[in-house]
Amino acid sequence: MPDLVRAHPAIRPAIREIPAEPVLAGPAPARSSRRLARAQRRAALAIVLAVCACAVLAQWLSPFDPVAISLSDTFQAPSAAHWMGTDQLGRDILSRVIHGARVSLAIALTVVTLAGVLGTLLGVVAGYVGGAADAAIMRLTDMQLAFPAVILALVLAGVIGVDMGNLVAVLTLANWARFARITRGEVLSLKSREYVLLARLAGAGPAWVMLRHIVPGIAGIFVVLATLDLGSVIILEATMSFLGLGVQPPAASWGSMIAEGRGQLSTAWWVCVMPGAVLIATVLAVNLLGDALRERLNPVIPETW
């Protein structure tokens, strides 16, 4: 075009009259939505890191002994001395919330790991072996999924008793089935891939194929499922403790703290509201991070998970 203009100066006015092409930009609402999503995920990550720091450094971060009773300091409202106030026994709520983070995260991480490994192994066997093994595992999975997790956990707790080890076992048995169901569907897709078929043609046994080729292929989906399940397990553990079938006093647990303060909502609201707010914030943050991982890794997971 510049050579044409220099050769024919008479057409310059006509060229000046041609309107410039508009600069196409993304819709402002879409950019705003993406910025909001990034801000939410950063906030969620900050909350999760803060809770993890409280769990690991509880002994050094808590300003008071979480089980120390001071009857002269009962039901003190939030103040400079007690940021979240005190409960009916004069115990500092902030210190108990910090130590409760250790209990909740330790139980939730243990349960998610055990349930994830158990459910994933069963799902791999069901999807790869098929036949009677697949039918038996899937019928067992259907039976477990037919019961709401809370009801199943309550029944199991009533049968095997209440202590920390039993609580972990109960929550594990109430959460493995979803891992098995999703993993089986992914394995059905993976076992028809070329590298799996070549390994079988080369004489590799089923155990070797599952461990060497199938399990690495579902590592990403396992991470996403575990992250999405973490918030549910935290809520389930708090529910069990709220009902008196989880962590027992005087140990600090968010669920038991909410239960202790539910009768004083009109006079000492902070006893119940403070641990409840921390519980809600933690679960929302974990769920946001799980959704972010699902979008990033893009595994085939139902939205209702």
Q: What is the pLDDT of residues 101-154, one digit of tens each?
A: 999 999 999 999 999 999 999 999 999 998 899 999 999 999 888 888 788 888
- Which CATH number is correct for 42-64+81-297, 3.40.120.10, 1.10.3720.10, 3.90.1170.50, 3.90.950.20? 1.10.3720.10
Q: For the CA atoms of the chain, what is the radius of gyration?
A: 28
Q: What is the DSSP letter of 86?
A: B
* C-alpha span between 154 and 66 (Å, rounded): 28
> What's the confidence (pLDDT) of residue 66?
92
pLDDT of 10 above 60: no
DSSP codes of every residue in 25-58: ---HHHHHHHHHHHHHHHHHHHHHHHHHHHHHSH
Output phi, psi for 65, to 5 deg. -70, 125
> What's the confidence (pLDDT) of residue 15?
47
Contact 262, 273 (CB under 8 A): no
Locate the domains of the chain by residue range: 42-64+81-297
pTM for the model: 0.81
Using one digit for the tens of pLDDT, what is the confidence trace for 170-224?
899 889 998 999 999 889 888 888 888 888 888 888 888 888 888 888 888 888 8
Mean pLDDT of 26-48: 80
Find the angle CA(296)-CA(301)-CA(304) to the nearest 5 degrees. Answer: 115
Contact 97, 252 (CB under 8 A): yes
> What's the confidence (pLDDT) of residue 4?
46
Confidence tier at 32 by pLDDT (50, 70, 90): confident
> What's the confidence (pLDDT) of residue 60?
93
